[in-house]
Structure 1
């Protein structure tokens, strides 16, 4: 046989049994379905944390601001306006329909009761716990804590997945997600709600990272890019679907329950979700890996004959002779080439998520209907992910570079557009969203191909941790707008441009086998040099 005189790589095994046959396609069905609910959890705060128009009512009639039916249809009211400073003669229909602006005498707290408009939302986290004025910062802190949960989950579950397997962590993540997600719908106060959302954030990282890696490790190099983008499509579909679900359900507790409870259906994954044969090989569970390979080959209609089994066994024998030491995150930066690639990829993860959620979670800034804007932003994701199908096959590196540059330039150009040209500013922001969405799709695939098998999950986990750091910071970036109106978009423009320049120092991975060891990465560097 042609392969008998040399080591057979795992990618060659996948080619022999079918790189994307019925087995892999079924696996991707199981991987993609949870992506819809991951999108729900990631973006639901756009609606549950929305701030409706509101005014302060005095504790009782007769103290200067009588109880009146208020017209909240004008959303231009400033958020901390108070009726306590308005003279009774001013409280008529014509005056209340006009914007009420804050003045130096307007108090930042309410001694009575906040009255919120119900024209758009029946209830939100904001309206239930009065998170406005002096308490408004709690809403931003809550968003950052959720993002911090994503960060913690990326670190913790990345390491656990390398030790206990991708499949086990996915199952744990799905189970915890539904339990704590449903619990958040019944939270008695804001602090417990934030704590439960923090855990949900951890589970989102557990599922989204390990599902992607599990699919990547079962897919042949020729189909790996297409398979990765398919996963992103389901996240984008969840993005769009959330707008419709939130439009129909205007109460935040009901909405939280509806996006969480269906997770109980994923209980059947215990019986259908396979382990990663590549991970089993890397962890010296060779016979179990060979059994899975035989099963996949049979399902794909390419059963192994004696010669094929001999070749797979030769791979196992080589693996048994390799260094058995345990790898840690330190191995990501221990050797020169691995260190350079890791640090660049970590920055790319950071900047992609910083800009992606910086634009996605602040759609109310565009001044359009919040449901329509959410749907448009979701629809932009579809062509953004589709275009990567035509560019990634040519070059991972150039694709990453070009879309980061597109996002950065579009965000920077918005600062030169006058405020009265809101349509132009919105269009540029949509171009920025297009570029960063495409770039975010690519960084998942690029990372999985750059990190070797022995530390792939650690690498993806650390990259995701850096990404979640970007998510934690993104709400804070908008606070810069208080000092400079254009400051957030300047940050969202410059950071991707820096990432675009750094991408030029990464190797090309298109149509190449996945590296299995750190030595593979270093030797590849030597051969390219």
Structure 2
């Protein structure tokens, strides 16, 4: 390890220029303000997806007359989000591993929110169910990826605590779903829009949809998982993320982050072995 001088707060101190793996680099970046904001956003994503799943219990009874929902189909309609999550969980997991946590979470929340928003204006049961089904195909992303995303951005010594807090806050925030439903559905009113009567259950559907859209917009302002970036060989981008986290947590300039990520991938090792065998011939 090589010692270098780093200026911080107007003084000069001796630090070590370190070669570190990703976990060590995360430890040095620290756990603080950035992880708190990041985990709160993951709670928001989880809450938005959970509210969408729970919304059927509040929307269907009040929408039964407008949509002419037969009694024998109510159970099937209520299970739509669970069907979509089960069908697409493995697919979205692979997509997140290939294209990144941030873009997939952003895309899924926005798509689910838009389909739910459109569903609020559907005139009959078939069109409403189709829109809700398409929305459910994206719900497995915020409902599962958020836990991994929260863990990957947090140092090892605080990772279990971060995931535990996210799960605990999700349990508490689930109480918001019936509270919102009670506030919106407590007064019966209607507005004639021609093809449809706009009633409280449609407004409630829009409210739940907007939570997903707001989550998607908020994801724009967070950083990609450094673990994903390292797995794709994007070491420079991973280091920039770690510097940003360090700066937000410590309040110091990003240049004070004194770590180089040292990683030897199997791919690079195989290339080296191939090069040596070629020269030997």
The answer, yes or no, to whether TM exceeds 0.5 is yes
Among residues 232, 235, 238, which one is paired with 1:289 in the alignment? 238
Q: How many equivalent pairs are there?
A: 242
Residues 66-215 of structure 1: pairs in structure 2 closer than 5 A: 123-124=62-63, 126-131=64-69, 135-215=70-150
TM-score norm. by structure 2 comes to 0.75
Residues 310-389 of structure 1: pairs in structure 2 closer than 5 A: 312-314=260-262, 316-318=263-265, 321=268
User: Do 1:14 and 1:220's aligned partners in 2 also have CA atoms closer than 8 Å?
Assistant: yes
Tell me: CA distance 1:305–1:181, structure 2 relative to 1, closer, same or farther (3 Å). Answer: closer
Tell me: CA distance 1:269–1:129, structure 2 relative to 1, closer, same or farther (3 Å). Answer: closer
User: Do 2:49 and 2:212's aligned partners in 1 also have CA atoms closer than 8 Å?
Assistant: no
User: Do 1:147 and 1:198's aligned partners in 2 also have CA atoms closer than 8 Å?
Assistant: no
User: Do 1:39 and 1:236's aligned partners in 2 also have CA atoms closer than 8 Å?
Assistant: no
User: Do 1:181 and 1:196's aligned partners in 2 also have CA atoms closer than 8 Å?
Assistant: yes
Among residues 226, 229, 243, which one is paired with 2:178 in the alignment? 243
2:26 is aligned to: 14
CA deviations 1:394-437 (Å, max 9, x no partner) are xxxxxxxxxxxxxxxxxxxxxxxxxxxxxxxxxxxxxxxxxxxx
2:11 is aligned to: none
Question: Cα distance, 1:9 vs. partner?
Answer: 3.4
Q: Distance in 2 between matches of 1:184 and 1:239?
A: 22
1:80 is aligned to: none
Among residues 146, 149, 161, which one is paired with 1:226 in the alignment? 161
Q: Secondary structure at 2:126's aligned position in 1?
A: helix
User: Do 1:169 and 1:210's aligned partners in 2 also have CA atoms closer than 8 Å?
Assistant: no
CA deviations 1:210-242 (Å, max 9, x no partner) are 222111111112211221122223432332111
Tell me: CA distance 1:254–1:227, structure 2 relative to 1, closer, same or farther (3 Å). Answer: same
User: Do 2:115 and 2:132's aligned partners in 1 also have CA atoms closer than 8 Å?
Assistant: yes
Q: Secondary structure at 2:40's aligned position in 1?
A: helix
Unaligned 5+ runs, structure 2: 3-15, 186-199, 272-281
Question: Cα distance, 1:278 vs. partner?
Answer: 0.8
1:108 is aligned to: none
1:252 is aligned to: 201
Residues 413-424 of structure 1: pairs in structure 2 closer than 5 A: none
Question: Cα distance, 1:162 vs. partner?
Answer: 0.7
User: Do 2:68 and 2:125's aligned partners in 1 also have CA atoms closer than 8 Å?
Assistant: no
CA deviations 1:288-332 (Å, max 9, x no partner) are 1112112222222276779943xx332x345763679xxxxxxxx
2:55 is aligned to: 44
Q: Distance in 1 between matches of 2:223 and 2:257?
A: 25
User: Do 2:29 and 2:257's aligned partners in 1 also have CA atoms closer than 8 Å?
Assistant: no
Question: Cα distance, 1:22 vs. partner?
Answer: 2.0
Q: Secondary structure at 2:224's aligned position in 1?
A: coil
Q: Secondary structure at 1:223's aligned position in 2?
A: helix
Tell me: CA distance 1:270–1:304, structure 2 relative to 1, closer, same or farther (3 Å). Answer: closer
User: Do 2:82 and 2:136's aligned partners in 1 also have CA atoms closer than 8 Å?
Assistant: yes
Unaligned 5+ runs, structure 1: 51-122, 325-529
TM-score norm. by structure 1 comes to 0.42
Question: Cα distance, 1:270 vs. partner?
Answer: 5.5
Residues 259-298 of structure 1: pairs in structure 2 closer than 5 A: 259-266=208-215, 268-269=217-218, 271-298=220-247
Q: Distance in 1 between matches of 2:257 and 2:166?
A: 35
Q: Distance in 1 between matches of 2:236 and 2:66?
A: 56
* Structure with more strand by fraction: 2
User: Do 2:88 and 2:140's aligned partners in 1 also have CA atoms closer than 8 Å?
Assistant: yes
Q: Secondary structure at 1:259's aligned position in 2?
A: helix
User: Do 2:122 and 2:128's aligned partners in 1 also have CA atoms closer than 8 Å?
Assistant: yes
